[in-house]
Structure 1
Amino acid sequence: MEIYEKIRYYREHTDFSQRNVAKILGISRNTVKKYWEGRTVPWERKPGSGRKNDIITDDVKAFIMKCLDSDQKAPRKQQHTAHKIYTRLVAECGFDGCEASVRRTVAELKGKVSNVFVPLSYDPAEAVQVDWGEATVILGGIRQKIQIWCMRECHSGDIFVSAFYRQNEESFLEGIVKGLEHFGGTPQKIIFDNARVAVKEGFGCHAKATDKYLSLSAHYSFKPVFCNPAQGHEKGLVEGLVGLVRRNFFVPVPNISTIDELNEKLLEYCAVYRNHKIPGKDLTVGEMAENCKEHWIPLPPYRYDTSNTLQIKADDFSLVRFDHNKYAVPYQYSSKMITVKGSGNQVIMLFRGEIIAKYDRDYRHNQTHYRLEHYIGLIEKRPRSVYNAAPIKKTVPTELYQFLMKLSSPKEIVKVLRLYLDIGNAVLKHLPYADSYNTLYAGVIGSPVRKIQIESSIGIVPPDLKRYDSLLKGGDAV
């Protein structure tokens, strides 16, 4: 403003030329010329440089939008960058502008649709969204990560949450079946992303479901729908559920004994959530879920078998190998064909349709799981094996094993093992009593146990003394 004031002063009150004024003020002659007659004022400026960008034409913008639209169906790591769009413009359209102008235009066009979403509305039981999450728990005293399976009905917001050890196909299918049973029916469609447990090829609307997922969807009569890559907003309801459960249920870190106990508590959380009222809704989640009941597709009578089922021959050590690990079966089934059903969290062994063993599924490698009761009959027939039998070393407590090695003979060890199978860890509290004897026999530890068992089995009925009170009162009257 000071420069402008001086230029106008010299113009109106002196005979100085523009050249002289520029020299006096030490500024450019173009600046003096610009403000000399007062046609232009410094406090009114045109936005930007004032130059028109004729390089980014409507045709160029249309080509850029075409590239960005094609990215909706492409994998996240195979989408157009601004540089790639520039090189295509040069090669395919003869573009002669600079790359910086293309970068600015790409940023502007992307900014028009970023963080802007279309409000969605679902009919009762029309759709269920599903997704995986991850959380940390203390399971059996060990801190570890587990997978959270989340399902949400889109109309009511009703939820189902379950915990699994891994995100494999068995867990995925089992989670869906349990969720449908929790809701009480099947929706028209289930919305999921492009995870390998569900998709064998393609992505988004071009995805092809795996054979087992396809058979499950056919059995329960729902349509599997897959989201576009990197488009989490297409299943935003369940994306929000994952964070909701992690922030509320898993804080503080749960300390539980088994994963079954964790799943029971998660079901309780789902039941409590039905009392919640979602902002903007007139009814609670539970009330809206009630309105969905008559719209669900009924569940079929046959429950779909989601397990990974195999026929495997037990080896000579009565062990069955499944998924990189070995699991013991009763020794009578050695060398027989066993049906193994591996679900998300369990491994079940069957022989001719009858369950003969059940284990928590172990996802480590090269682990062997024994059960003492599976081998005790064989050990009784071959008692000298007790000193090196893996089913004994790997299953009995260290304290009990050290006591067993003090016993006088293998047969005495077998007797104590039988006692251990009968009463469990309760036998441990009798070890100090038995250890006080110079010569140890199974009967030494067995006698106090039997005494306790006999005493606990005898019922003592306290006498009724009211009759004597009545006689005493009668005697006073006489």
Structure 2
Amino acid sequence: MISLKKKQQVLIAFHQEGKSQRKIAKEVGLSRNTVKRYIEEDLESRKKDSRNLPVTDNYIAPPSYKKRNGQKRALTHSVIKQIRKMLKENEYKRQHQMHKQQLKMVDIHEKLLDKGFNISYTTVRNFINREEARKKEVFIRQKAVAGREIEFDWGEVKLCIGQSWRSLSMAVFTLPYSNWRFAYLYESETMVCVQDAHAKCVASLQFVPEVFTYDNMRTVVKNFIGTEREITEGMRNVSMHYHFKIRLCQPRKGNEKGHVERSVEYIRRKAFAHQDSFSDLQAARSYLAAIVHKLNTHQHYKKNIAHHELMLEERADRAAGAEVVPFDASELLESRVDKYSTVTYRQNHYSVPEGHVGKWVKLKASAETIRVFSEDECLATHRRCWQNHQWVMDIFHYIHTFQKKKGALAQSECLSQAPAQLQKIYQDHYIGNERDFLELLLYLKEHQNLSRVLNAIHQLQKNPMVQLTTDKIIFLASQEERTAKASPEPGDEVTSQSLENLSAIHALFETKTTGVLH
């Protein structure tokens, strides 16, 4: 290929210096025919106005050879017909939710070889790329309106909770106008969790956007009827409560809610790329809330205003929907209390106070708690367990039963789930003396003052001359409770005087309580 510089030398020598073609060819080092062709092309191009044509001036266009359009020997009309037929089948599968069963380019090439066509994979690939390029999608840029729309999506997060790795689901909401974000961690993606995420997001926003946008998740879309999609009953209840409209993306068109798609990846990276181990799930939720709050204080990349301040503008535009009662995101059902005084929900057992065995009770399950009701009275409240075949038990629900079956206390499931402080008290002071331990549990159930009981035990352990008994623990805890009610700052004089009184009583009677291992 002759360089552009030599072509320009030929034209400059001819037009400006008036040299002959033969002399120009000798100086530039080109054949006289090439020089003649350059000059003739330039003289011809000067007669045309190329300002409105997709061509350049002849003297700035590099030399080129004419492209040879040879006949394709392998890509015949029969091959093209077969390839287009298979591409049409792929299009049909995409339209009928069978996109994972499409033929790839390598499959099309293998099928052509099986039919006896001698063609290379490269030829097939290039032809398919040209065919698919004709059907490139055109995207319409949207203009966000304040307070109109919010987008929702789930994201998976893998975290170390306690000592074990768990896969959690992160619910994410994003306002397209302000790019304000909300995120919360759940252990599942069930309908109750979706409803609870909506209630928490609206409570944080303090207004309800006009439209909520989703993809075709099972908790939102019940089924497809042709091109129509039916909304689930749970999402219809949420939309009717908050008075918002539901917009669904087209299948496999995540770009239609691109703000939240980007937010899922952005929040997950900003939050859990730096820290992925937490003591419990609540600590992970608090950490995520702090990170999201920090991200919302950043400035919008275009408007140079903080995301939170832009959200306040949206709240002002939607002031009519600000005062909304929170949605009750829970599932209500009836269950019979079994012989262990528990009710079963989704293969897990939750304890119920004694005296209800065999009775029917109402169970209200939310995303985080399980509450048991009997005639509008709340009998028990438990943290919801998302594992299977687990027993969630409260030791205070079985105190009267343990008074009859004291030997069952040491190896009971409810003692193993009791607070660690209670387990330590039993292991250190009450093994073989279950009767007094049950008296202490009964006192704790009535007064709900475990901290004062622990403080009383600590004070008794300071004096080796005083024996630690249940009566003395209750006496000291009660004295501290009465002092706390009388004065906001309890002094040490009451505790010291109480210890002196207990020491005198102990020296007077010289009693020692002995327990029996039942």
Look up the match of 1:364.
387
- Which residue in 2 is equivalent to 1:414? 438
Residues of 2 paired with 1:235 and 1:329: CA distance? 45
**SS at the partner of 1:207?**
strand
**Alpha-carbon distance in structure 2 between the residues aligned to 1:230 and 1:376:** 56
Residues 65 and 109, structure 1, Cα contact 8 Å, conserved in 2: no
Higher relative contact order (CA 8 A, sep 6+): 1
Residues 130 and 190, structure 1, Cα contact 8 Å, conserved in 2? yes
Residue 335 of structure 1: SS of its match in structure 2? coil
SS for the counterpart of 1:202 is strand
1:285 aligns with 2:310: no
Please report how far the alpha carbon of residue 151 of structure 1 lies from its aligned counterpart in structure 2 after TM superposition.
Answer: 0.6
Q: Which residue of 2 aligns with 1:50?
A: 70
The equivalent of 1:342 in structure 2 is 365
Q: Structure 2 CA distance, aligned partners of 1:455 and 1:181?
A: 40
**Alignment equivalent of 1:442, drawn from 467, 470, 482:** 470
Give 1:415's aligned amino acid: E
SS at match of 1:357: strand
Letter in 1 for 2:366: S
Q: Which runs of 5+ in 1 are unaligned?
A: 2-36, 91-95, 463-478
Task: Say whether residues 1:184 and 2:206 are aligned partners.
Answer: yes
Q: Secondary structure at the match of 1:185?
A: coil
Contact 2:341 2:356 in 1 (8 A): yes
**Post-superposition offset of 1:277:** 2.2
Which residue of structure 2 lines up, in the alignment, with residue 24 of structure 1? none
Q: How far 1:288 sits from its partner (Å)?
A: 2.6
Q: Secondary structure at the match of 1:131?
A: strand
The equivalences for 1:57-456 within 5 A come to 70=92, 73-75=95-97, 76-79=99-102, 81-82=104-105, 100=121, 101-110=123-132, 117-140=139-162, 142-202=164-224, 206-253=228-275, 256-296=278-318, 298=321, 301-380=324-403, 383=406, 385-387=408-410, 389-395=412-418, 397=420, 398-403=423-428, 406-408=431-433, 410-418=434-442, 422-424=448-450, 430=457, 433=461, 441-443=469-471
- Please give the secondary structure, in 1, of the residue aligned with 2:335: strand
Superposed CA offset, 1:451-471 (max 9, x none): 766776775899xxxxxxxxx
> CA offset at residue 242 of structure 1?
0.9
Contact persistence 2:83–2:108 (CA under 8 A): no
Cα distance in 2 for partners of 1:70, 1:232 equals 20
Q: 1:348, 1:357 within 8 Å by CA — same for their partners in 2?
A: yes
Q: Distance in 1 between matches of 2:241 and 2:107?
A: 46
Say if 1:73 and 1:229, in contact at 8 Å, map to a contact too. no
Of stretches 334-343 and 312-321 in structure 1, the one that deviates more from structure 2 is: 334-343
Distance, in Å, in 2 between the alignment partners of 1:342 and 1:109 is: 54
- Other-structure match for 2:43: none
Between 1:253-262 and 1:364-373, the stretch displaced more is 253-262
Change (3 A) 1:336 1:384: same
Tell me how far apart the structure 2 counterparts of residues 135 and 426 of structure 1 sit (CA, whole Å).
40
Q: Report if the CA contact (8 A) 2:178-2:300 is conserved.
A: no
- 1:194-214 Cα offsets, whole Å, 9 max, x none, are 222222223996432222123
- Indicate conservation of the 8 Å contact 1:339/1:351, yes or no: yes
Q: CA deviation digits over 1:300-346, x for unaligned, max 9?
A: 85543321221112223220101110001211333332221222222
Structure 1 residue 70: Cα displacement: 4.8
The SS at the match of 1:172 is: helix
* More moved, 363-372 vs 136-145: 136-145
Measure the CA separation in 2 of the matches of 1:293 and 1:87.
59
Distance in 2, matches of 1:79 and 1:227, equals 22
Matched residue count? 421
CA distance in 1, matches of 2:368, 2:194: 11
Q: Could you list the runs of 5+ residues in structure 2 that have no partner in the other structure?
A: 2-32, 35-62, 492-518
Give the secondary structure class of the aligned counterpart of 2:386. coil
* Change beyond 3 A, Cα 1:235–1:185: same
Give 2:431's aligned amino acid.
K
Residue 452 of structure 2 contacts residue 480 of structure 2 at CA under 8 Å; is this kept in 1? Answer: no
TM-score (norm 1): 0.71
Query: Could you give the per-residue CA deviations for residues 413-468 of structure 1, whole angstroms, max 9, x where no partner exists?
Result: 32233456554377568389499799975346556656766776775899xxxxxx
2: CA distance, partners of 1:234 / 1:314: 48
Q: What is the CA-CA distance between 1:233 and the residue it aligns to? A: 1.9
**Structure 1 pair 458–205 and aligned structure 2 pair: CA distance change class (3 A):** same
Does the 8 Å contact 1:434/1:440 carry over to 2? no
C-alpha distance in structure 2 between counterparts of 1:452 and 1:287, whole Å: 49
Code of the aligned partner of 1:411: R
CA contact (8 A) 2:207 2:323 kept: no
Which whole-Å deviations, capped at 9, do the CAs of 1:41-81 have from their partners, x for residues lacking one? xx966557733567399999987886666565343314454
Which amino acid in the other structure matches residue 442 of structure 1? T
- Matched residues in 2 for 1:229 and 1:99: separation? 34
After superposition, the Cα gap between the structure-2 partners of 1:412 and 1:274, relative to the gap in structure 1 and judged at 3 Å, is closer
Report the identity percentage: 19
309-318 or 295-304: bigger deviation: 295-304
Displacement after TM superposition at 1:260 (Å)? 4.2
* CA offset digits 1:260-291 (Å, max 9, x no partner): 45444444444433332232335332333233
> How far is the alpha carbon of 1:356 from its aligned partner?
2.5
Alignment CA distance shift 1:452-1:143 (3 Å): farther
Query: Contact (CA 8 Å) 2:353, 2:398: kept in 1 or not?
Result: yes
1:131 to 1:334, Cα distance in 2 relative to 1, 3 A: same
Maintained 8 Å contact 1:152/1:158 = yes
- With over 3 angstroms needed to count, the CA separation of the structure-2 counterparts of 1:403 and 1:186, relative to structure 1, is same
| Alignment deviations for residues 352-390 of structure 1 (CA, whole Å, 9 cap, x no partner) | 333322222112111111111222244346556545544
Contact 1:64 1:85 in 2 (8 A): yes
Letter in 2 for 1:174: D
Matching residue's letter, 1:171: C
Distance 2:309 2:84 in 1: 48
Please give the per-residue CA displacement for 1:129-178, whole angstroms capped at 9, x wherever unaligned: 11111223343565433211001112221111111111111111211232
Shift of 1:293: 2.4
